[in-house]
Amino acid sequence: MKDEYEFSEIYKRFEIEGEYVSCERYGEGHINDTFRLTVAHGGREVHYILQRINHRLFTDVEKLMHNIELVTECCKESVLARGGDPLRECLTIIRTRNNKTFYFDGANYFRMYVFIEGATTHQSVRNPRDFYESAVAFGNFAKLLAKFDASQLYEILPNFHNTKVRYANFLRAEEQDVCGRKAEVQKEIDWVIAHGELCGKLVDKIDSGEIPLRVTHNDTKLNNVMLDDATGKGIAVIDLDTVMPGTLCYDFGDSIRFGCSSGAEDEPDLSKVHFCLDLYETYLQGYLSAVGGAILQTEREMLPWGAVLMTYECGMRFLTDYLEGDVYFRTHREKHNLDRARTQFKLVDEMLAAFDKMLAAAKL
């Protein structure tokens, strides 16, 4: 990656003051290269987040940063309107000296954010309180952006949560069977097809206007929430690369998919995988307490379907990738994607069995 001399030149391209001290890798992200930049200014050390954007995945950096700029500006205005501190409660872009949101050095794209001091992200849920606070943070994120016109955003990853498109891709992979794996997973294929009527539950309601188009984060895991070091409270949502138009149900549902399983996403022993209704209720409580009146009743009643759909869709994507030869998701062992698919299908079965309770909790 970049050496210190180059970092000491790159930082000069951004609108910050101070003398370069260091730039070290920071966090555990796998998509972009993230660093903590330290400069000396006014007799103290000041930190910033410097990132090299993965332009092989995010091929249109202009559109990517367009989305992030609009969303962060809206969050800032909303935080200020309620008397909060936008430097701590949302991401703040540091512009370049020629007033752009990123710097291109001829080979790589860089961006810079204000560093949020006194807060930390965690890779896993340490206790139910962490999960609750992540729900509060994402509910607050939705509330801050409640009046934002999501049609202004580009689809950075087109059809990312269009379950109908994902289903069509699955059927094509099943028909083509390029790796000759179809016969061994016929049970799983039959399961996906048997639940195919689920695919339109959310996209059809967006298309019809029954639920509104909103800003969605699309990666609502705990490690994208800054938790205050002193209080443990969720204070800010980070990693906005996948903000796109969608429905709140996508973000809520993916949090439930990932956080309400008793087992790992790739657990091969399905007896260890169960849907945890108590954690669902914990997250739901935190989310609704934060989003407040910014969510419509029609959206609220669709939140449980978000959990089912995001889990179904993810499992279907894992199975599709297995049929296609493991070309999208990184695998570390034989049948890794198949194990992942099976855990998701098990969770869907248990969610549907508990659906009346999930719905009743959402309606309260």
Residue 4 clears pLDDT 70, i.e. is over it? no
Q: Is 42 helix (H, G, I), strand (E, B) or coil?
A: coil
Residue-range domain boundaries for the chain: 4-117, 128-363
Distance of CA 17 to the CA centre of its chain: 32
Q: What's the token pair of residue 169?
A: 């891709």
Residue 2 clears pLDDT 50, i.e. is over it? no
How far apart (Å, rounded) are the C-alpha atoms in residues 137 and 220? 10
Alpha-carbon torsion 324, 329, 334, 339, what sign? negative
How far apart (Å, rounded) are the C-alpha atoms in residues 64 and 49? 17
Q: What is the mean pLDDT of residues 285-310?
A: 97
Residue with tokens 């188009």: 213
The CATH code belonging to domain 4-117 is 3.30.200.20
How far apart (Å, rounded) are the C-alpha atoms in residues 342 and 347? 9
In degrees rounded to 5, what are phi and psi of residue 51? Answer: -125, 140
How far apart (Å, rounded) are the C-alpha atoms in residues 96 and 299? 39
Options 2.60.120.260, 3.10.520.10, 3.40.50.10070, 3.90.1200.10; CATH of 128-363: 3.90.1200.10
Read off the pLDDT of residues 29-59 as tens digits, 9 standing for 90 and up: 668 999 999 999 999 999 999 999 999 889 9
Q: What's the token pair of residue 284?
A: 């739901």
pLDDT recorded at residue 5: 47
**The model's pTM:** 0.92
In degrees rounded to 5, what are phi and psi of residue 147? Answer: -100, 5
